[in-house]
Amino acid sequence: MTRRFREVAERVLDSLLDDAPEWALDLGDPRGAARLSDHSAEADARRAAVLTDALGSLDEIDADLIPEGDLVDLEVLRARVSADLWHTAELRPHTWDPLLHSPGEALHTLLERDTLPLPERLSALAARCAALPDYLATARSRLSEGPGMSRVHVETALAQADGARAMLVSGVPALAAGEPSAASEVEPAREAALTAVEDYTAWLRGQLAGATADPRMGERDFAAQLWYTLDSELSPEALLVRAESDLLATEEAIAEAAAEYQGAPRRRGQVAEALSALADENATGADTVRPVCADALMHLNERVRGLDMVTVHDDPVRIVPMPESRRGISVAYCEPPGPLDPRAREQPTLVAVSPPPADWPAERRESFFREYNGGMLRNLMAHEAVPGHALQLSHAARHTGGTRVGNALWSGTFVEGWAVYAEEALARHGWSGNHREDLALRLVQLKMRLRMILNAILDVRLHTGDLTESEAISLLTQRGHQEEGEAVGKWRRAQLTSAQLSTYYVGYAEVSDISRDLAAARPSLTERQRHDAVLAHGSPPPRHLRTLLGL
């Protein structure tokens, strides 16, 4: 049965990868590098049939006859196929979310990663460029037949389309310059793609006036989205109650930290004063964000090693500006090498940081830099790099299972949960052993904890209720002590995504509980041994990690 399961699992995974060549290439599988996904209505019908057959094949596996690791792979794969089927047959986001048709995703990995030798990369890039006119024609068709788009989705898609245009104007020619013989293949395709992107951008701009759809998912769809995203039975109602309770507890904790930071008794308004003083003492600007992040990363590599918190592998990590085609949703992200690429460890993990948009007024830009002051950037690097995402994903890259499922299918709940947990673990140890610096890190980490909890509250209340923008901004700025620019950005992000903002809070709670229970079950483990054990199984949903750890 084990052999049969592994054959079925690999076949189902290959089907998923073949259906989404952009995602496959991100993972390091170049077999579909010259193709783009087919988002036509006919392809959706075929996709639904394939996914239904895949579920049937997985259901035929007797779970009692396969080893524990394979059982987890079975459950993870079944959950992914079920989610894809629901999205395809019921949610149908390609008919209302233009971000899913972003032309930049067709080009980004081929420009940024050397998964293939340069001549093959350029050939694949030319093929994808040549396919973009039909791809974007399909996008217009699907979005025109759908229930309508929201303004925030169209505005963000326009900004990302401008980024794709920049890739075609400068990125593609710069890469092609390294192989002049490819010009005859690349240049006509690039020109056709550029025209198609400009036409699509004009079409999107023409949709703005009529983009009046509500971006809220509604109770039923959000509950399903939360189920598939978290891989948990936690309901939106239960999540909201738990988060609001933890918000009160965290407000108490940050009030105590602020009093200690100021060396004064607790009083009303003290948290805001302490955070304002910290921003003043650690001011940043357009030219200093990346250097501060780079210095923080260098320090964190040494600090985490010195504390013996968790094994830090020597895999390279680079701080880079976020590509324009990916801006508009988050301020930073971590992009590791594709885990299916056999040369993955030779390539750097990229931590991309987004500057404030150029069209923001001066006041909004100043607000951004106050939010992302030096103290906050230190904590951001702990989350995105070490001991957070980059470190966790370097451990995950070393995981080997009976199938590739554990390498290809990550739980966002675990990935984000570990990163938030890692922030807190570092803050307990301190930034450097200097009391003032350690207090500053503790203060911003608690502010980030408030943000994490409010993310979940905002996520649920927006998509299942009638939360208004003014109410959301007030909640984030007053109880979360966020700058207005950050709050406005988070409001946009909550509208553009659903359930993802809840992964931080739920994942943190579950990873924290696992670490605590593992310490109780195996008291002889050092902190490093315990954390290495938590990270030794890839990036599975936390409930399955419990099984793998014998908890």
Give me the pLDDT at residue 364, please. 83
Give me the pLDDT at residue 329, please. 56
Q: Is the peptide bond before 265 cis (omega within 30 degrees of 0)?
A: no
H-type alpha helices, 208-348: 219-230, 236-262, 270-281, 289-307
Q: What backbone phi and psi angles, to 5 degrees, belong to 350?
A: -105, 125
CB 271 within 8 A of CB 255: yes
Record the pTM.
Answer: 0.94
Mean pLDDT, consecutive 10-residue stretches, the chain (551 aa), reads: 92 97 95 97 97 96 91 96 97 97 93 91 97 98 96 96 95 94 95 98 97 96 96 93 98 97 94 96 89 95 97 93 67 87 85 80 87 94 96 94 94 97 97 95 97 97 96 97 91 95 97 98 98 97 96 91
Give me the pLDDT at residue 325, please. 56
Rounded CA separation 312/392 (Å): 9
* Apex 101 CA angle, 152 and 216, nearest 5: 35
CA-wise closest residue to 157 among 203, 126, 219:
203
Give me the pLDDT at residue 330, please. 67
For residue 437, CA distances in Å to 159, 278, 434 come to 38, 10, 5
Give me the pLDDT at residue 498, please. 94
Alpha carbons within 13 angstroms on the beta-carbon side of residue 12 total 31
For residue 203, CA distances in Å to 144, 165, 213 come to 11, 15, 17
